[in-house]
Chain A
Amino acid sequence: MKAQSRLFFYLLLTPFFLWLLLLVILPHIDMLGIALREQTAPRQYAFSFSNFSEFFKEPLYWRTFLRTAIMSIVATALTLLIAFPVSYYIAKMLRGRSKSLLFLLCLIPFWVSELVRTYGWMILLRETGVISNALQWLGLVSGPVELLYNDAAIMVGLVYTSMLFMVVPLVTVLESLSDDIIEASYDLGGNMWTTMKNIVIPHAMPGIVSGCIIVFMMTLGNYLTPNLLGGKDSLWFTEQIYTQFITRFNWELGSAFGILLLLLSSLIVWLGLKLTKQTLTSTMAS
């Protein structure tokens, strides 16, 4: 009986282990191997750190790297700032039908692919686009304005794309906060701000952190949105990786970049957890 249940347990775990081994561990080990070699002659490779030193020697690479990290952090913070009131409204102010309706509205943009959504933004923002035309029609500007291909456009696209992934954990965690507790805070003399600061945000912390981790990782690893909305100037690190692998056919450098991006996201997530005194387990449980 016991042996049988143990067998069952391992059978259930098998797909998970296969996924972990084949799709996560093996590719990364291989990528690390490629990153740590240098071509000395045709089909001749030697162990070397040259790909990593290349990264630090070329300012374009590490500047893009830093820029991507900072832009991603800003995008995450913006997403949180916008998503928190929305989530609070959905979770705490609304009841019944209007609640599920609004939640559904947050979901609707995700019925189409990210590509289509991004093209939607391009239709709005481009020189001949809706906003430019509207501004001209209103007489606010004399000629067409180009709103695409700048950092603000990238930011708008990134925040829009990430919204749902912040709203879902926040709504979940805020719904678990009993109304009594909020009322008790008011009853004891708290106002809106002190209640937010002392009660709601500490309670929502696991949700905030898990939402931020998801959004940050998605943004950092995003390729499509910065590329389409930022154009040639977008300078997103994933584009560098793409260039190395596809255009330059330099798999060694591309792999090194991939490893560096993995290290970067792990480092920032770790820092974020340390700063907010959360653990990965507690945030993922929320």
Chain B
Amino acid sequence: MTSTLIDLETRHVNKHYGDFTAVNNVSLKIEKGSFFSILGPSGCGKTTLLRMIAGFDEPDSGDILIQGDSMLGVPPNKRPANMVFQHLALFPMMSVAENVAYGLKQRKVQAAEITKRVNNALESVDLGDSGNKRISQLSGGQKQRIAIARCLVLEPKLLLLDEPLGALDLKLREHMKVELKQMQSRVGTTFIYITHDQSEALVMSNNIAVMNKGSFEQVGSPSDLYYHPETAFTAGFVGDANQWQASVSHIENGVCTAKVSDGLTLTGHINPNDALQTGDLVDVFVRPEAIKIIADHTSQNDQQSNQVDCIVIDLLFNGANSTALLKETISNKELHVALPQTGEYSGLQKGQTITIAWNPEQTHCFKVVS
């Protein structure tokens, strides 16, 4: 294995506010040139972590290293990391070009050099002719690009992004996701992106850390997190999932059979980290798109060994993301099932009873920690 450069490393970082633990023993390594996301619900400590990397907060214990140098005690204006703020924090009292030039001016770069680099930076975000505009004259997406250009012009080792897409409307947000990803691979700067929006993290990142209650639940590639969640939190938070609680009745080869209630048992993969025993309670997760609707009751399939009957409660049309809302007849649990718009299921009606089935391979069981 070739040695990869590590742009950011945190070692056992802790941060407390009074009795509240904001960040709990977080260690991570981020490779140079990667797009790393920290994904978690609001209040999970991701902003605190980012602010400690930027230098606005100091960790109570642990160390933060940028390219091997400890950043403890280094103020934000001396760190080789720049931040794109949630509300962008562009300077309204300055023109667009002055905003981009600000960091260079602080470094006492020569005026001619500043002009050149500002123009290049504006060109690189397709806003070459907007230098003289006021910030208020820019659209949401343009502001976003200026906020990024303002940081990238300083050639930081890390670019920290604090949910910068949150304020944009849906269409623009979808567009900016792709643009950010492309921009990152073009400039090659390490991006650290924090968000509560899983689709932002999944689309853009090379690696994602899922954060909950101050600690990392799992770090991995987007597809790893999606297909091989290691904790119940990850399984529930990343992507949509249907969830049951069941008690384990049989364990064999990393697969368990668990009973939800009388007449309803499910089979699924056991999380390798859980030492599971018969009788333990497990959370069972299955993704809406892993479930297949079988119209014909009789066609039993060994592969799809989880099979239940449901009543169609509602059909939620949402283009390619359409789902059917079903009620499972035994446990009365509401389920979401993906409805591919291939015409195959166009005959589905409210109130109809159908059978659904899914593969144990795509069913994940996590031990309930009480």
- B residues apposed to A, CB below 8 Å: 54-56, 75-77, 82-83, 85-94, 102-103, 106-107, 150-151, 154
Give the CA-CA distance A202 to B93 in the complex, in Å. 7
Minimum CB–CB distance for A166 against chain B, Å: 21
Picked from B85, B102, B150, B154, the residue with its CB within 8 Å of the CB of A183 is B85
Q: 10 A-B Cβ contacts within 8 A?
A: A180-B86, A184-B85, A185-B91, A187-B54, A188-B151, A189-B107, A190-B102, A198-B91, A199-B93, A202-B93
Contact between B82 and A188, CB atoms less than 8 A apart: yes
In the bound complex, residues from chain B placing their C-beta under 8 Å from that of A178 are: 87, 89
Whether B106 and A187, one on each chain, are in contact in the complex, defined by CB atoms closer than 8 angstroms, is no
Q: Which of chain A's residues have a CB closer than 8 A to the CB of B76? A: 183, 186-187
- The smallest C-beta distance from A113 to any residue of chain B, in angstroms, reads 40
Shortest Cβ-Cβ A-B pairs, 3 listed: A189-B106, A188-B103, A180-B89
Specify which chain B residues have a CB less than 8 angstroms from the CB of A180 in the assembled complex: 85-89
- Of chain A, the residue at the smallest CB distance from B82 is A187
Q: Which of A178, A183, A184, A203 has most B Cβ within 10 Å?
A: A184
Q: Determine if A184 and B106 form an interchain contact, defined as CB atoms under 8 angstroms apart.
A: no
- Known contacts: A183-B76, A184-B83, A194-B106. The answer to whether A189 contacts B91 by CB under 8 A is no
12 other A-B residue contacts (CB within 8 Å) besides A178-B89, A184-B90, A203-B92: A178-B87, A181-B89, A183-B83, A187-B54, A187-B55, A187-B83, A188-B103, A188-B151, A189-B106, A189-B107, A198-B93, A199-B93
| A203-B106 CB under 8 A given contacts A188-B154, A189-B77, A190-B77 | no
Please tell me which one of the listed residues B54, B75, B92, B102 contacts residue A185 in the complex, with CB atoms under 8 A apart. B102
> Which of these, B56, B94, B103, contacts A189 with CB under 8 Å?
B103
* Residues of chain B contacted by A202 (CB below 8 angstroms): 93
Q: By the criterion CB–CB under 8 Å, are A198 and B86 in contact?
A: no
Q: Which residue of A lies closest to B160 (CB)?
A: A187
A203–B91 Cα distance when bound, in Å, is 9
**B76, B90, B150: residue with the most chain A Cβ atoms closer than 10 Å:** B76
Q: How far is the CB of A283 from chain B (nearest CB, A)?
A: 15
Residues of A within 8 A of B87 (CB): 178, 180
Q: Which residues of A contact B56 (CB under 8 A)?
A: 183, 186-187
Asked if B89 and A183 make an inter-chain contact with CB atoms under 8 angstroms apart, the answer reads: yes
Q: How far is the CA of A188 from the CA of B90 in the complex (A)?
A: 11
Query: Which residues of chain A in 169-201 are interfacial with respect to chain B, using CB atoms and an 8 Å cutoff?
Result: 178, 180-181, 183-191, 194, 198-199
Q: A183-B56, A183-B76 are in contact. Are A190 and B106 (CB under 8 A)?
A: yes
In the complex, A181→B88 CA distance in Å?
8
Q: Which residue of B lies closest to A191 (CB)?
A: B77
Which residues of B lie under 8 Å from residue A188 when comparing CB positions?
77, 82, 102-103, 106, 150-151, 154
A183 to B76, CA, bound (A): 9
**Contacting residues, chain B, for A185 (C-beta < 8 A):** 91, 102
Q: Report Cα–Cα, A189/B86, bound state, in Å.
A: 19
Expressed in whole angstroms, the minimum distance between the Cβ of A117 and any Cβ of chain B is 37
A194 to B77, CA, bound (A): 11
In the bound complex, what is the Cα–Cα distance between A189 and B75 (angstroms)? Answer: 9
A191 to B108 alpha-carbon distance, docked (Å)? 13
Nearest-neighbour CB distance to chain A for B243, whole angstroms, equals: 37
Q: Indicate if the CB atoms of B89 and A198 lie closer than 8 Å.
A: no
Q: State the Cβ distance, A282 to closest chain B Cβ, in Å.
A: 13
Residues from chain B with a CB closer than 8 A to the CB of A194 are: 106
**Which residues of chain B are near A190, meaning CB under 8 Å?**
77, 102, 106
CA of A180 to CA of B93, assembled, Å? 14
Nearest-CB residue, chain A, relative to B100: A188
Pick from A181, A187, A199, A203: contact of B77, CB under 8 Å: A187
Q: Is A186's CB under 8 angstroms from B93's CB?
A: no
A191 contact set on B, CB distance < 8 A? 77, 106
B157 to chain A minimum Cβ distance, whole angstroms, is 14
